[in-house]
Amino acid sequence: MSSESKHTQSRKKIFVLGGDGFCGWPTSLHLSNIGHEVVIIDNLSRRNIDNELEADSLTPIKPMGTRIEAWKEVSGNTIGFHNIDIAEDYEGFLAVLNSEKPDAIVHFAEQRSAPYSMKSPKHKRYTVNNNINATHNVLCAIVESGLDTHLVHLGTMGVYGYGTAGMKIPEGYLDVEVKTEAGERIEQQILYPTNPGSVYHMTKTQDQLLFQYYNKNDSIRITDLHQGIVWGTNTAETNMDDRLINRFDYDGDYGTVLNRFLMQAAVGYPITVHGTGGQTRAFIHIQDTVRCIELAIENAPSSEDRVMIFNQMTETHRVNDLAKLVSEMTNGEIAYVSNPRKEAAANDLHVRNDLFLSKGLNPTTLDTGLLQEVTEVAGKYAHRADYSKIPATSTWTKEQQPGIPETSKELNK
Ligand code: NAD
Ligand code: USQ
């Protein structure tokens, strides 16, 4: 075990579904490092999508076997791995559940890109089939196994939409007052009304209903984490060895906004702001993602509790402000490109995140040192960048234009 690691008070067996992905890999290492027994389940579909898109992580991620071997060498800890498609192979998943009997399951295993989910009817259908079946299979298998396992799911801030009537977005549930026919006023808490902005985000709103039902009918213990956009690359654990390096998506489908801006600045590509950049979104650093999962596992609900919902974000920023910040830091050019998405030109966003703060999260907020660190990672691997994959080409409707900067044409040759 590494010098940085520490034993948790109670060692748990934890399944990490989607443990080969951008959030899942650092989470698996972190949970292993603090003393839990980790088993990854992943069908490596994200690597296959890289093949389909002919795009690759900017960082040279290693195959799963090498990753696990390197972790054993560095930390002395063993991480298990099963290649199972959770959406397609229910029996296979159930069999591992019955044999391994995990105390907790962290569920990252979904197609998570909004642009990929909007590329074509095929991609829309794949995203719906994969995400909803994966989540339903996990819930159904927990019931069939009879295990009292705690399910921690990665949802998204995007289930709420990105605007309110001025109030802060609560953590999952909204207080409402309804008036009966007799004129009586009754107070209730309901799931916050959903307002998805892509087929991908819509699957996450469906996940919420699956959780409500299985929690009500079978008393499954569930924590649903409504996460904002994750930025950064490495964590304390992925930094321990080059072979543990995390993936860095920069292409027009999978690259998320802040990491794209930092990468674009590092390789000398114009910073691609969609429209006027008036969209405000919630953000969280990858180091805080792994800490939040640790806290969610430590603070499991009981079987009497309703679905516990946390907003997993630490700050909100307007896209244009982020572009300006990165541009000032790096002297990078900003290109205001056609917005390929159907979204409001601008929105304000206020979000509550008291639950994680009360459980001990000490947020890592945007600071230039950390931004610089990501730019340095991007700079180190700039030679691996394929500029032709940077423009966002997936449009929400046929009438919309891809987001291609004028000045990038030379770079794309
Ligand atoms: P990712 O695509 O890098 O990782 C997802 C992993 O799940 C991949 O390794 C993939 O191979 C696996 N997977 C997908 N479908 C599967 C299936 N049917 N069976 C087995 N494995 C399967 O995505 P990520 O960025 O790590 O996101 C993880 C989760 O967190 C997603 O559910 C996403 O919605 C959520 N999330 C991500 C972000 C972000 O900014 N990255 C923000 C909010 C929420
Ligand atoms: N944007 C740009 N320029 C770019 C890329 C994006 O201006 O080059 C804009 C988009 O138009 C959008 C905003 O930045 O307004 C965010 O886009 P994004 O791709 O960073 O984030 P999004 O599509 O919402 O999806 C990501 C993850 C998803 C997660 C979600 C959290 O891919 O898995 O659920 O963030 S949230 O945004 O809070 O819903």
| 167-199 pLDDT tens trace | 899 999 999 999 999 999 999 999 999 999 999
Is ligand 1 within 6 A of the CB of residue 253? Answer: no
Expressed in angstroms and rounded, the spacing between residue 99 Cα and the centre of ligand 2 is: 38
Task: Please state the rounded mean pLDDT for residues 71-84.
Answer: 98
pLDDT given for residue 407 in this prediction: 74
List residues bridging with 279 in a β-sheet: none
Give the other-Cβ count within 10 Å of 362's Cβ: 9
Expressed in angstroms and rounded, the spacing between residue 95 Cα and the centre of ligand 1 is: 22
Ligand 2 pocket test target in 118, 157, 256 with most atoms within 8 Å of CB: 256
**Residue nearest to ligand 1 atom 1, measured at CA:** 21
Distance of alpha carbon 260 from the chain centroid: 15
User: Among residues 194, 84, 88, which one has the least CA distance to residue 131?
Assistant: 88
What is the C-alpha separation between 160 and 340, in angstroms, rounded?
Answer: 21
Mean pLDDT of the chain: 94
What is the C-alpha separation between 360 and 250, in angstroms, rounded?
Answer: 32
Is ligand 1 within 6 A of the CB of residue 85? Answer: yes
pLDDT given for residue 3 in this prediction: 38
Q: Which residues line ligand 2 (CB under 6 A)?
A: 112-114, 156-158, 228-229, 256-257, 260, 272-274, 277, 279, 281-282, 319, 339, 341, 343, 392
The length of the chain is 413
Task: Please state the rounded mean pLDDT for residues 101-126.
Answer: 98
CB 147 within 8 A of CB 97: yes
**Residue nearest to ligand 2 atom 15, measured at CA:** 279
The backbone torsions φ and ψ at residue 71, rounded to the nearest 5 degrees and listed phi first, read: -65, -40
Residue with tokens 């690259």: 255
Tell me the pairing of strands 229-231 and 280-285: parallel
Domain coordinates of the chain in residue numbers? 10-411
* Strand ranges (E), 277-346: 280-285, 308-312, 315-318, 334-337
CB 151 within 8 A of CB 222: yes
Is ligand 1 within 6 A of the CB of residue 22? Answer: yes
* Strand ranges (E), 323-385: 334-337
Segment 205-255, tens digit of pLDDT:
999 999 999 999 999 999 999 999 999 999 999 999 999 999 999 999 999
Expressed in angstroms and rounded, the spacing between residue 165 Cα and the centre of ligand 1 is: 31
Expressed in angstroms and rounded, the spacing between residue 16 Cα and the centre of ligand 2 is: 24
> Among the CATH numbers 3.40.50.620, 3.30.2290.10, 3.40.50.720, 3.40.630.10, which is that of 10-411?
3.40.50.720
Expressed in angstroms and rounded, the spacing between residue 152 Cα and the centre of ligand 1 is: 13
Is ligand 1 within 6 A of the CB of residue 56? Answer: no
Which active-site residues does the annotation give? 156, 200, 204
CB 110 within 8 A of CB 134: yes
Segment 357-397, tens digit of pLDDT:
999 999 998 887 788 888 999 999 999 999 999 999 999 99
